[in-house]
Amino acid sequence: MPTGVDLQEFVSGFLLEAEEHLHAVNRNLVAATEALARGRPEPRAVRELFRSLHTIKGLASMVGAEPIAELSHEMEGILRAADRAGGQVSERALDLLLQGTRALEERIHAISQRGIAAIPAAPRSLIDALALEQSAHARPGGGGAIELELPDELARNLAAADREQLAQAVESGRRAVVVEFQPSPERAARGLNIAAVRSRLAAIGELVKVVPRASTSAPTGIAFGLVLVTDADDAVLAEAVDSTPAAILPIRATRARAARAPEVIATDAEREPTSGPGAEPGAEPGIDPVPMDHSIRVDVRRLDDALERLSELVVTRFKLARIAGELGARGVDVRELTQTLAEHARQLKRLRAAITEARMIPLADLLQRLPLVVRGLTRDTHKSVDVSIHTGTAEVDKAVADRIFPAILHLVRNAVDHAIEPREERRRTGKPETGSLRIDCDDSSGTSLLLTVRDDGRGIDREAVARKLGEPVARSDDELLQQITRPGLSTREDVTRSSGRGMGMDIVRRVVEMLGGAMSLQTAAGQGTTFRLRVPVSVTIVDVFSFAAGDQVFVAPVAMVDEILEIEPSRLVEAPAPQRDGPVARLVQRRGTSIPLLTLTGVLGSAVIGSVPPKALVVQQDRGAIAFGVDRMLGQQEVVVRPLDDALVRVPGVTGATDLGDGRPTLVLDLLTLGATVLQAKAGGA
């Protein structure tokens, strides 16, 4: 390392780019794991893994993070050997790559928290194991050498993994082709350049390689050969490159008996230079042209700061609206000011949407590590577990993602360690030897996510939980949830690497409640357990209803409210067994069914009011709907929510406070949690 150079200014850029490549590493490790389970090589994943690790190594060397560079280098060695084997990765090699990835994540996290000087050394035992596996795994494979019928200038640019990918496609009945694209000024004027062509072809097939070459017949002196696996016909491919079917060259692939000299993944420095006149700007010799990425990396702290500034504007808008209302009450003509405030509110809403969208991350990216976590746990517990994740296109704010992922991780660890039985036990009970763990997400509300973690294990042992607590056996799933989320509870007699320390479920519940969400449980002996977590997509600025109950004003997120009812005395039915203490309970008719109606002031303990409230907010729960009576509705608006982090003031059903412009804190209610608390109390007192 050269001395006298301050590399600190590069560290933030390193962290942003390294995190992006770690996402790619995890994604491709999952693909390689699935391919190993099917007994087939995965050359594309191997190639992408190598490229990501190679980039991380270069970035780490630039900022002086030598332990990261050393780990990446040794992991590259395994992938080079796997590339020579046509994309074959052994189970042992995959385990080491998983361990290496975890070690990289730990060291990158250490840099983000404490700087380069705090980075731990690379674990020597892992480095030695990676080096040993390189030599053991470095053997030719892929079922024999592959002969491809295509021009030499294209063939010599294909690595072994590319050849294996093409051979697999042909053997499975798909088409392997070369599509030629010739850039020209006319095509560029219509927006058709190599980046656009790549995008078009990627939508109708699987791009294997893009090879630039000099061409005397091309208008700019350069042409591109795009090697593609596809099911599309020649006419569709020709249209994508603005050419004729004559520009499509089929590739025939055969496996030869004699082994060819092994090829390796080429780094940028190792590729043969390919150049020609008229090359597109930015297309370096020997490197696949990459379409321009219309995005930039932004430190999340800058987005946090932008959201904080927006929050201040929202509060200021409330103050202006209040002042305008006071002026109007005094007879001042404020019509023009009111119109301006309305336009200002619309502008803030659009600005909020833009900032929020910039902070969103795909839930699939957040959860992509979980199959790898499960693989590590099953190796330690000698169990077999099939994990499936179904998130669709759901996205979540970065702040929510950072808090909810550890909670989901706890649930996954508990499912594998506690719930899902060993193979022998499952066989004895008539279950498949491989357990099932499924994670689903429903984002249909638009403002909240319903995350479901479901296993087909033995279910929660109610008696064992009761014995540990010295309490009666839970009579319902709600009671059981209260018991298993007690701090320090663990039903394990021994401590393992992943559980038995009495930490986990209480953390999950605490995280969900701090986010203003709700948690429920459903379990059956011998059949399995399902946890449902409902959390907001964003926790800073939310759309709410404001309403008055007694002499206090409250707000509740719009996403939690199923309906606003007008209460008519003729629709009321007295509860069959009213409680002596607590809120007055009635039933109200709602589309042919009766649901509980509680006065909000009674629920919050501010008063026990026997009069009929004029309006009610209806929330829908797993156990049914419940209505909260309020005295009047004040409107709908977006507010800035400040969480109540102090344990002394945090209570169930209150997620935070906001400022409606009068300088006084207004409580933000979680009606789902309030409803669950009331129903549970009623069930316990029955």
pLDDT, tens digit, 9 for 90 and up, residues 272-319? 333 333 333 333 333 333 344 455 667 777 888 888 888 888 888 888
Query: Does pLDDT of 2 surpass 50?
Result: no
Task: Give the pLDDT confidence score for residue 649 in this predicted structure.
Answer: 55
pLDDT given at position 528: 93
Q: Give the Cα separation of 389 and 370 in Å (integer).
A: 9
- Tell me the two tokens of residue 655: 């997620």
Name the most confidently modeled range: 419-433, 508-522, 598-612. Answer: 419-433
Q: Helices 477-484 and 671-685, interaxial angle, to 10°? A: 110
Strands 585-590 and 572-574: antiparallel
145-256 matches 8-137 in CATH topology: no
The domain made up of 145-256 is a member of CATH 3.40.50: no
Residue 647: its pLDDT value, please?
54
Q: How far apart are CA 490 and CA 503, in angstroms?
A: 8
Tell me the mean pLDDT in the region 224-247.
88
More confident residue, 3 or 154: 154
| Higher local confidence (pLDDT), 119 or 280 | 119
Domain boundaries, the chain: 8-137, 145-256, 309-360, 368-536, 541-685
Q: What was the pLDDT predicted at 297?
A: 65
Neighbours of 250 (CB within 10 A): 12
* pLDDT in the model for residue 4: 39
Strands 665-669 and 552-557: parallel
pLDDT band at 129 (very low <50, low <70, confident <90, very high): confident
Q: What is the pLDDT of residue 152?
A: 77
pLDDT digits (tens, 9 = 90+) for 319-332: 888 899 889 999 99
Indicate the pLDDT class of residue 426, thresholds 50, 70 and 90: very high
* % residues pLDDT > 70 (the chain): 81
Least confident of 110-124, 173-187, 289-303, 533-547: 289-303
SS3 16: helix
- Residue predicted with more confidence, 430 or 195: 430
453: nearest Cα among 495, 514, 405: 405
Residue 82: predicted pLDDT: 81
Predicted pLDDT at 172: 79
What kind of fold does domain 8-137 have according to CATH? Four Helix Bundle (Hemerythrin (Met), subunit A) (1.20.120)
Given the structure tokens 């099953």, which residue do they identify? 378
The model's confidence at residue 523, banded by pLDDT at 50, 70 and 90, is very high
Range with the poorest average pLDDT among 33-47, 182-196, 569-583: 569-583
- Segment 583-598 shows an average pLDDT of 78
Report the range out of 152-166, 194-208, 237-251 with the highest average pLDDT: 237-251
Two structure tokens written together for 214: 């000099």
What pLDDT score does 272 carry?
Answer: 36
Q: Is 588 helix (H, G, I), strand (E, B) or coil?
A: strand
Q: How confident is the model at residue 527 (pLDDT cuts 50, 70, 90)?
A: very high
Q: Tell me, what's the pLDDT at 645?
A: 59
Sign of CA dihedral 620, 623, 624, 625: negative
Report yes or no: 220 and 183 within 8 Å, Cβ to Cβ.
yes
pLDDT in tens, 250-274: 888 776 654 443 444 444 433 333 3
Q: What is the pLDDT of residues 466-512, one digit of tens each?
A: 988 888 998 888 889 888 888 777 665 554 544 443 346 888 887 88
Q: What is the mean pLDDT of the chain?
A: 78
Q: Which two tokens stand for residue 23?
A: 């996402």
**What band does 447 get if pLDDT is binned at 50, 70 and 90?**
confident
From residue 77, alpha-carbon distances to 32, 94, 124, 558 in Å are: 16, 13, 16, 54
Q: How far apart are CA 43 and CA 87, in angstroms?
A: 4
Q: Averaged over 652-671, what is the pLDDT?
A: 80
Other C-beta atoms closer than 10 Å to the C-beta of 365 total 17
- Residue 197's pLDDT is what? 86
Name the superfamily (CATH) of residues 541-685: SH3 Domains (2.30.30.40)
- Residue 665, strand partner residues: 659
pLDDT exceeds 50 at position 530: yes
Which numeric CATH code is attached to 368-536? 3.30.565.10
Residue 605's identity, in one-letter code, is G
